[in-house]
Structure 1
Amino acid sequence: MPGGEVAAAKVRSEGHAEQPQAERLGVVRASDKGQWSSQTLTLALQQATTSLGGLAALVHRCDSATGSLHLAAASGLLPEAAEAWADLRTVQDVAPTRAVRRGGYVWVCGDSLGIGAVGTAALPLPGADGPVGVLSVLTAGPAEPDDEQRSFLGAVAAWAAARLEGLPGTAPGLTSAAGSEQTVRMGELTAALAEAVTSRDVVQAVADHVLPPFCADGLVVWLIEGDRVDVVGAAGYPQEFLSLLDRVPLTETASVTDVLATGTPRFIGSRDEFRRRYPTMAIVAEASPKNAWALLPVIASGRAIGVCVVSFTRERVFSDEERTLLTALGGLVGQALERARLYDVEHARAQELQRGLLPRELPRLPMACAAARYLPAGRGEEVGGDWYDLIPLSGGRVAMVIGDVMGHGITEAVTMGRLRTAVRTLADLDLPPDELIGHLNDLVSDLGDDFYATCLYAVFDPTTRTCTLCLAGHPPPVIVHPDGTVLCPRLAADPPLGAAEPPFEIHELHLAEESLLVLCTDGLVESATRDIDQGLAQLCRILAQAVPRIPDLWSGGQCDDVGRLEDLCDTVVSALLPAREQTDDDAALFIAHTHGTAADDVATCSLPDDPRAAGQARRYVRKQLAIWGLDDLTVTTELLASELVGNVIRHAKGPMRLRLLRSRSLICEVYDGSLSTPRIRHASYTDEGGRGLQLVAALSRRWGARYLYDGKCIWTEQSLPADDSAKRPLG
């Protein structure tokens, strides 16, 4: 291509409205002998494309010697599309050459470059001796740009021409240095609005880029919500005054209804003028700290969706140039707000989904309490696939799980919800960690080849103070002992779920009487500036410094102050992910305070593998409950133990063992050497047996069975008497 190759940005001809503006602009420049400013070209193309809702834009430079146009810069075009207009002769019948020949604005219907455009708007860049170039925008709107859009396009073209040619005077429509600055700042606003995600971002962009150059000091953005107007953002006003404007019926806001009804901006230079024009709003005018206003219709998809009010403390007269630029502001803000409102709605739904999928509150269990944090990846949908949970198991044991579905977004959040539900279901079956992880691996594999997740599943047994866990591609836990020792054991991890093959390796850790177990996802410890090993080492250092400063953390094993763990979570998060550091991954942190079961709260005896075992079990129960002062539960517990032992004698095999646990409930467990499954039978009226487990279910609060590598355990739970339960500590 003469003059060099145009490297153009990628454009999507379908689904264009859904593509982020910043992603599709990608302004690029062709080499040209005049060496026009790349920054000016970039800004002009951004302004023009956004103000007209364009698919692509181009700037050509006029060659007076040859009477041709040479492409200086383009955005939103593939190279082959830009090639077609790289060099144009003024006799050609296309939009840029028509604009030069006419010396003014032209509109040509049709998809000239085959990118799905409705038409092309073109306007010369005015110079001292005629056009120095031409600015063209290929639009996607349903019709030709309206007067406001054409007016703003003219301001952009005039500003660009003055900047590109370095003219000593000002171009038409830009009558002052202040006006030039205002147009530049409007261009900066265009770029800022392209990056704005939420409605609040849009309002902040306007406050940052519009108020200073116009010497304005107040901003209110109203949007229509049914039969009222809501303030979606403001700047420069006290909250007391904004309360007068928010959620006000349309019938009580004459200024808003006037602008909405006519679609015409109103420029009011004094308080007296405001009262004359809108007498029913005199109270608002008196309460306002401002004395001049520009009321601009916020236009989106061809309709007014609200009003943007730019206000001034001093009275003023608005120039024609300022009216033109401020009028264009309504269209720019409207497009950005329309996109942001869709995001706000989806964001609210996504947050609701996230709240529904993550535990609203972690349970406070006798042998473990916990606090956790979920941190979404920067901006965007703010949901992802990280999750955590604390699950009570039989025998006073506790399951702790943390996982991370690869990626972040609605799909990953839904997948996370499925996995969390599956974990809770499988945990209720008392499966050992390796079997549970195996089932999760099958579930993720069935989702498809593109789904992967990491997971750490741990079971803490307070009677032995052992933590049994499996790692599927997940960072290892960090352990903090009461003496201040912080350990990060080096554990071999299996591949992530969806890519692993069973069997899964089981790891056993022995914890001190009281310990902190710290689990996290890689988003917390891994970033562009540190690898995962460095992040884990930093986490250990933070814990080593922070834990000793927590008062009463190890005092007496009480687990009733989750607030200490909440504070520790905040300390860790703020140290590892400070506000200044951006992360593109979700992060989760889970800290559990574990407690071992006191020796005098556990009682165990071996039983013979014959019918005498039932009698021995009853005697042992009577003796032990008397020691614990639980005589009120003796008769029921004797009956439960007798039925469980009898069930083993009839249907299973030894060796047999009875264990009693005293916590916030009374747990009775009978162990045997069989893997047979106990089931409740539906005994008929004439059957002499078969009702044992029905009786067990009726007498206990909960009951069930869990399987060991060499047998099983059948267990029951009973509520303690109210007075004794109140005395029992959480830990």
Structure 2
Amino acid sequence: MSKDETDREGPPADGGEPTPAAAEGSRTTGVPSDEVRGWILDQLPVPVAYFGRDQLLAMANAAAAGSVGRPEASILGLRPGEIEPGLFLEGGEGLAEAIARVLRTGEGEPYETHLMMAGSEHVWQAAMSPVRNAAGEVQGVSVVTLDTTDQFWARQRLGMLDKASKRIGSTLDVGRTAEELAALGIEGFADFVTVDLLAEVLAGDEARSVLHRDKLSFHRVAQRSVLEGCPESVVPLGRTHDYDWDSVVGRALIDGEPSRHTVDEEALLRWTTEKPARGRRMRVNKVHSVLVVPLRARGITLGITVFARHRTPAGFGSTDLQLAAELVSRAAVCVDNARRYTRERATALALQRSLLPRRAARQSAVEVTSRYLPNTNGAGIGGDWFDVIPLSGARVALVVGDVVGHGLHASATMGRLRTAVRTLADVDLTPEELLTQLDELVLTLDREEPADSAEGATVAGATCLYAVYDPTGGCCTMARAGHPEPMLVRPDGTVEQLELPCGPPLGVGGLAFEAAEFELPEGSRLALYTDGLIANVDRDVDTVLAELRDLLGRPAHSLDEACDTVMDALVPEQPNDDVALLLARTRRLDAGHYASWDLAADPAVVSTARKGASAQLMAWGLDDLVFTTELVVSELVTNAIRYGGGDPVRLRLIRDHALICEVSDSSSTAPHLRRARIFDEGGRGLLLVAGLTERWGTRYTGTGKTIWAEQPLPGSDQTEPL
């Protein structure tokens, strides 16, 4: 016998030791019996089921039967989804369709299903594979499932948190943020959500610790339900109510931690009931599970959020509590940010409104009306302002300006610039000189800002339009610093945009400003505005300006009506920038309201000037002012003759809301008020003028200067609404 034949020998006939070949075969070709295969399948911890070609359940291992809580015999012969009463297999019909596709195509596919059982929910991920016979024909489908409940809810949780990051806090509005939280809460998580905030949070104030109060006052700012109309609500929207410290909500506020409850708890029942006017108690119907989550941000409690379930069979679990806590935590930060913004915006708005004119000094040069609308979006209140400033000689200054930037800093800068404009206007600077001085002020303010100030870069500039109108001749002198040009509506209804030299914005420095003069007919309307009126993200500026011209040209019974027409048409409901609009209708002083005399530079004419002024006052019926006016005329004319540099000397009286006395000469030397010593022969003239009149001052002209003094008319009111 050869060696090869020896190696292939089987066991000896006498039952001796097996040959090496036989021993090796017993290790490599042994096959488990059907009984062992059954043990393996039945003891496999993964549910395995088999559906035949008739799509009926033909086999299920112990894990599969245990997953539905029934023995294998009770579920054999059922179709997918035909689980016995008490169980619900979500997507059962879809599972049957998937099995039918596998039988038809012979290709496997994955499938996810939800199983509700005894108040608990499980998520199963199934892998369906075709089962073939020896000929390769599909005889059935095997379904191997894995319990992916934890992974499913982790995905759901991440998905909801992702939605929260995108949808909660889309605006800086406290109420809107609360609504976004409530709306997200009913999307597959809770059936009913309420959000209550402390009253001071809604007002934008700082919330104090709840541990140091006897009672807390909340407002319900948001509530959402899966049922239309929120029939579960027991507290109407916006109604104020107090929380009892002994309630579940009270304990959550004290602890500052979210909690999970069922409605069987007596404390929660007290929270879900109230006594209406008729004394009948009401209860949130069918609620079986509740989460109470305080809204806390930066260590302070801002409110409380309650999630309730009544339609969803499963109660809230610990994972749900954690998810709710994360949702509310994110919303609380957004609410606190909105509260801080509300406070800053309210402060800036209050500051700005306090700086804007509410009552203007009475004057006869123009009839004015104005509109101011703060922006409701973006970074906050801006620095727009307007003003009407009476000047000497019955003239008036019209001002509109806009500080770059938003917030408290912009409002404060606006206040400083407005005060500076009034101060410079009081010394009767020409429009171009005033803007030059204002430009220097803005540069100074910019230099004073700290180098690391984030806000400093946002308010380092402004635009301004300054116009002076003289009603005695109808002349209007204007200059602008980077500001939109005004519109002029003539009495015949024609509208034009006045062409002014384009000066640089305030704060640039080194560039000159130029003024332009226009003669305005009586009854003309002058429209001054900030760029918020014409800036529109959806339309070109030229198109908006054309519409503004059309709107201003429409007939209007009053300036208020014209203002409202423009604002309603051009300004959106929620403007992105502040809007200021000032309309002024020009007037003329007729010859009966002023008188003038040209006087020689001779001391002898002083008595003539006094007599002329006295006669004019008698003609105007101002007998009570004759004595004082004679003294003022005497002193001012005497000073002009003595120090004015010769002819001409001009005396003018103007009867407006005040009696104005003006004396002009060719000298550019300004007089100064001083107190004369006992033995001085002069130096008391201006002191007398200052003591006898309400205001006095000096303005310079191209040919010299004018000294003026004002006396109030008997019974006149010096202010009027703006």
SS of the residue 2:606 aligns to: helix
Match of 1:76 in 2: none
1:207, 1:276 → 2: CA distance? 20
Residues 317-357 of structure 1: CA distance to partner in whole angstroms, max 9, x if unpaired? 73437555434332222232233333333333333332343
Which is further off, 210-219 or 620-629? 210-219
Tell whether 2:299 aligns with 1:307.
no
Q: Indicate whether 1:649 and 2:649 are aligned.
A: no
Superposed CA offset, 1:420-442 (max 9, x none)? 12111101111111111111122
Letter in 2 for 1:622: S
SS of corresponding position for 2:524: strand
Aligned pair 1:713/2:688, yes or no? no
- State the alpha-carbon separation in 2 of the partners of residues 541 and 301 from structure 1: 53
| Counterpart code for 2:551 | I
1:338 aligns with: 336
Q: 1:172 aligns with which of 140, 149, 153?
A: 149
- Distance change (3 Å), C-alpha of 1:660 and 1:209: same
Q: Tell me the SS of whatever aligns to 2:194.
A: strand
Structural mapping, 1:552-701, within 5 Å: 553=558, 564-565=559-560, 567-579=561-573, 583=576, 585-653=577-645, 654-701=647-694
State the secondary structure of the residue aligned to 1:681.
coil
Give the Cα separation in 2 of the matches to 1:195 and 1:359.
35
**Alpha carbons of structure 1 residues 253 and 591: separation in structure 2 relative to 1, 3 Å:** farther
The question of whether the paired residues in 2 share the 8 Å contact of 1:290 and 1:314 is answered with: no
Say if 1:448 and 1:222 are closer, same or farther in 2 by CA, change over 3 A. Answer: closer
In the TM superposition, residue 173 of structure 1 has moved relative to its aligned partner by: 4.7
Deviation at 1:215, TM superposition (A): 6.7
Taking the aligned partners of 1:525 and 1:624, their CA distance within structure 2 comes to 49
Q: Distance in 1 between matches of 2:529 and 2:670?
A: 36
- What is the CA distance between 1:397 and its match in structure 2? 1.1
Q: Which residue of 2 aligns with 1:486?
A: 495
**Letter aligned with residue 538 of structure 1:** E
Conservation of the 8 A alpha-carbon contact between 1:522 and 1:587: yes
Where in structure 1 are there 5+ consecutive unaligned residues?
1-126, 130-154, 554-563
CA shift digits 1:641-684 (9 cap, x unpaired): 11111111222133111111112211111111111111122112
Q: Which residue of 2 aligns with 1:117?
A: none
Match of 2:350 in 1: 352
Q: Please tell me whether Structure 1 or Structure 2 has the larger radius of gyration of its CA atoms.
A: 2
1:600-650 deviation per Cα after TM superposition (whole angstroms, max 9, x unaligned): 111112112111221111111122112211112112111111111111122
Measure the CA separation in 1 of the matches of 2:282 and 2:564.
41
Whole-angstrom CA distance in 2 between matches of 1:197 and 1:221: 17
Contact 2:464 2:483 in 1 (8 A): yes
Query: Quick check: 2:397–2:467 contact (8 Å CA) kept in 1?
Result: yes
Q: Give 1:203 deviation, angstroms.
A: 1.0
Structure 1 residue 729: Cα displacement: 11
Deviation at 1:524, TM superposition (A): 1.9
Q: Relative to structure 1, is the Cα distance of residues 313 and 679 closer, same or farther in structure 2, using a 3 angstrom cutoff?
A: farther
Pair 496,244 (structure 1): closer, same or farther in 2 beyond 3 Å: closer
State the distance in 2 between where 1:349 and 1:416 align. Answer: 14
| Shift of residue 373, structure 1, vs aligned partner | 3.4
Q: TM-score, normalised by structure 1?
A: 0.67
Q: In the alignment, residue 529 of structure 2 is paired with which amino acid? A: C
Q: 1:726 to 1:383 in 2, by over 3 A?
A: closer
* 1:536 and 2:545 matched: yes
| 1:230 aligned partner | 218
Distance between the aligned counterparts of 1:411 and 1:730, measured in 2? 28
How do 1:302-451 residues align onto structure 2 when only pairs under 5 Å count?
Answer: 304-310=301-307, 318-320=315-317, 323=321, 325-448=323-446, 451=460
Match of 1:256 among 235, 243, 249: 249
User: Who is 2:697 aligned against?
Assistant: 704
User: Residues 93-242 of structure 1: matches in 2 within 5 Å?
Assistant: 171-173=148-150, 184=159, 187-211=162-186, 213=188, 216=191, 219-223=194-198, 225-226=208-209, 227=213, 228-231=216-219, 233-235=221-223, 241=236
Change (3 A) 1:544 1:232: farther
Give 3-state SS (helix, strand or coil) of 1:195's partner. coil
Aligned to 1:370, the other structure's residue is in SS state strand
Query: CA 1:169/1:700 → structure 2, altered by over 3 Å: closer, same or farther?
Result: farther
Q: Supply the distance in 1 between the matched residues of 2:717 and 2:403 (Cα, whole angstroms).
A: 41
SS of the equivalent of 2:503 reads coil
In structure 2, distance between residues paired with 1:506 and 1:540: 23
Contact 2:382 2:406 in 1 (8 A): yes
Asked whether the 8 Å contact 2:476–2:519 carries over to 1, the reply is yes
The answer to whether the 8 A contact 2:372-2:581 is kept is yes
What do residues 11-59 of structure 1 show as CA deviations (whole Å, max 9, x unaligned)?
Answer: xxxxxxxxxxxxxxxxxxxxxxxxxxxxxxxxxxxxxxxxxxxxxxxxx
Given that residues 373 and 579 in structure 2 are in contact (C-alpha distance below 8 angstroms), is that contact kept between their aligned partners in structure 1?
A: yes
- The aligned counterpart of 1:458 is 467
Distance 1:531 1:409 in 2: 27
How far apart, in 2, do the equivalents of 1:606 and 1:289 lie? 92
Alpha-carbon distance in structure 1 between the residues aligned to 2:543 and 2:147 = 57
Name the counterpart of 1:72: none
Residue 495 of structure 1 and its aligned partner are, at CA, apart by 1.9
Any idea what SS the aligned residue of 1:458 has? strand
Q: Partners in 2 of 1:603 and 1:704 — Cα distance?
A: 20
Aligned counterparts of 2:169 and 2:147: Cα–Cα separation in 1: 28
Question: Paired residue for 2:240, among 239, 245, 249?
Answer: 245
CA contact (8 A) 1:663 1:728 kept: no
Look up the equivalent residue of 1:609 and give its one-letter code.
A
1:550-588 CA deviation, whole Å, 9 max, x = no partner? 32x3xxxxxxxxxx42x43333223223237x64x4433
- Note closer, same or farther for the CA distance 1:331–1:169 as it changes in structure 2 (3 Å cut): farther
Match of 2:506 in 1: 497
Separation in structure 2 between the aligned mates of residue 208 and residue 568 of structure 1, nearest angstrom: 42
Partner of 1:46: none
Contact 1:267 1:318 (8 Å CA) reproduced: no
Change (3 A) 1:726 1:297: closer
Match for residue 53 of structure 1? Answer: none
SS state of the match for residue 610, structure 1? coil
How many pairs does the alignment contain? Answer: 550
Amino acid at match of 1:458: A
Report the secondary structure of 1:513's partner residue.
coil
Q: Relative to structure 2, which stretch is displaced further, 441-450 or 660-669?
A: 441-450
Question: Whole-Å Cα distance in 2 between the matches of residues 212 and 588 of structure 1?
Answer: 43
Which stretch of the first structure deviates more once superposed, 199-208 or 318-327? 318-327
Give the Å deviation of 1:406: 2.8
Deviation for aligned residue 1:188: 2.3
**Sequence identity of aligned pairs in percent?**
39
Residue 279 of structure 1 deviates from its aligned partner by 7.8
Of 289-298 and 533-542, deviating more is 289-298
Compute the TM-score of the two structures, normalised by the length of structure 2. 0.67
RMSD: 4.0
Amino acid at match of 1:172: T
